[in-house]
Amino acid sequence: MSLSHELGLSETYSAFINNEFQPTITGQSFEARHSSTGEQLARIARCGKVEVDVAVQAAASAFPGWRATPPEERSAMLLKLAAAVEADLPRLARIDSIDIGRRLFETELDHRFAISQYRYFAAAAITHEGFGRPIPGGYLVAKREPYGVCGQIIPWNVPAIMTAFKIAPAVAAGNTIVLKPDENASLSTLELCKHVAEIFPPGVINIVPGFGEEAGAALTAHPGVSKLAFTGSSEVGRIIAGAGAERLVPVSLELGGKSPNIIFPDIDDIDAVVDNAMFATMYCNGQSCLAGTRLFVHDAVYDAVMERLVAGMERVKIGSGLAPDTVLSNLVSAEQGKRVLGYIDIGKAEGARLVTGGRRVPVEGHEAGYFITPAVFEAHNRMRIAQEEIFGPVLSVIRWKDYDQMIEEANDVRYGLAAGLYTTNLRNAWETADRLQAGSVWINQYFNLASGSPFGGFKESGIGSEYCHETLNMYTHLKAVTIQTQVAQPWFAPRS
């Protein structure tokens, strides 16, 4: 039995519109392949302008009924979706592992994050309220109303989380959606559609796979889309923002990062800190916008940290994502692998000292995969490898002594998505958190993202916050309605 049949994958996937997989007009498709063996897993429809238009029309037709659906009923459907994903979690996690090359332990966590999102917004849907107050002779009510059809585009690195980040708040707030998954990671999202069809009314959730320059461009430019949401690179984010500005529709963006992770000299458990710094670097195989890939280490503990860091990186088990002892698996594609190796060459050329790693290694039976040993550079903050988002297991270690200079360098990037720090000193913790230009600051535990914790960036890392109650406001208008108990006596142009 092939892996595709073992996982219950369809041979082909088309656009998911009105709770059905509908064939494309052109019949064009692209291959979904196992990221490390090259085995074909399925063929996926290459949607374009026509399919996007049909999906938007379906979402627009479904919107009035969905908008009128009581929040309690929307909440119940999101809870059913969470339960369906939970029951299907082992299979969906395996699909993501082979599709994008991450270890099964991580993709299982992804789906648990997704489940928590569906449940969080199921609760938030029934507590999303406006406000009111008396005014002279009457009352003011400010109410939240959904935008309508939301166009959403997600990346390939954590498809389960990204899908939940977009679907859950949008439909909880009463919107309908057309979502485009990344062409490198569409399978688990398309499999999710099978659960959606059993739970939600037709047209509420529509999925159009395809390429960014085709399906993505058609979705962002469609006049029937009333709100745009995008997660991905800052470069593409600018294009999405421009499309929104052209039509004057709201846009929320979660973009790139080059996050600082700071070690103070007062830490009391170097081994624990180093382990967490390794996690910050290598989670998602380093293919994460929030990865802590700039490690600022105080001079007083620098040698001890580096000794443990290098030893830890060199004992990392590299292998297939489905192998139980794997810690670091393959990158999503050959293109991404070559990009990461190219940045390692750039670091060497810049004069950064490669302390360990940075090599592609073979894994038997997975010759198509790009398995790269975690690279640790001693670097300066202005080097390209410390400034640009690499999206791979590449860490720049920067030595610091002067606190103010370290803060200046930590903030001296165009991004501001996340930051971490390790200290036992309360003043260090709070003062540094206040001074870091980042949407999320994690103290003594990197990627400490609990449900309800706002997730969004400063500077070129985006606009808006996901993962929290505030996200519902990004998917709704605020409408003011005033009522007077009676019409006022003539005053504007009274009879003489």
Are 294 and 443 in contact by the 8 Å Cβ rule? The answer is: no
Q: At what angle do helices 71-87 and 104-125 cross, to 10 degrees?
A: 170
Residue 219: CB atoms within 10 A of its CB come to 30
Residue 30's closest CA among 49, 9, 14? 14
Per-residue b or e along 365-382, where b marks 16 or more CB atoms closer than 10 Å to that residue's CB:
ebebbbbbbbbbbbbebe
Is 335 considered catalytic here? no
Burial class (CB in 10 A: 0-12, 13-18, 19+), 404: exposed
Q: At what angle do helices 89-100 and 159-172 cross, to 10 degrees?
A: 120
DSSP string of 16-59?
EETTEEE--SS--EEEEE-TTT--EEEEEE---HHHHHHHHHHH
DSSP string of 176-199?
EEEEE--TTS-HHHHHHHHHHHHH
Separation between Cα atoms, residue 86 and residue 95, nearest integer Å: 14
Separation between Cα atoms, residue 19 and residue 276, nearest integer Å: 42
From the candidates 289, 389, 409, 468, give the one annotated as an active-site residue.
289
Tokens representing 439 are: 């949407």
Is 254 considered catalytic here? yes
In degrees and rounded to multiples of 5, residue 260 shows phi and psi of -80, 145
From the candidates 254, 389, 409, 460, give the one annotated as an active-site residue.
254
Tokens representing 423 are: 């200290």
What is the distance between the terminal CA atoms of the chain, rounded to a whole angstrom?
Answer: 93
Residue 352: CB atoms within 10 A of its CB come to 21
Supply the residues annotated as catalytic: 254, 289
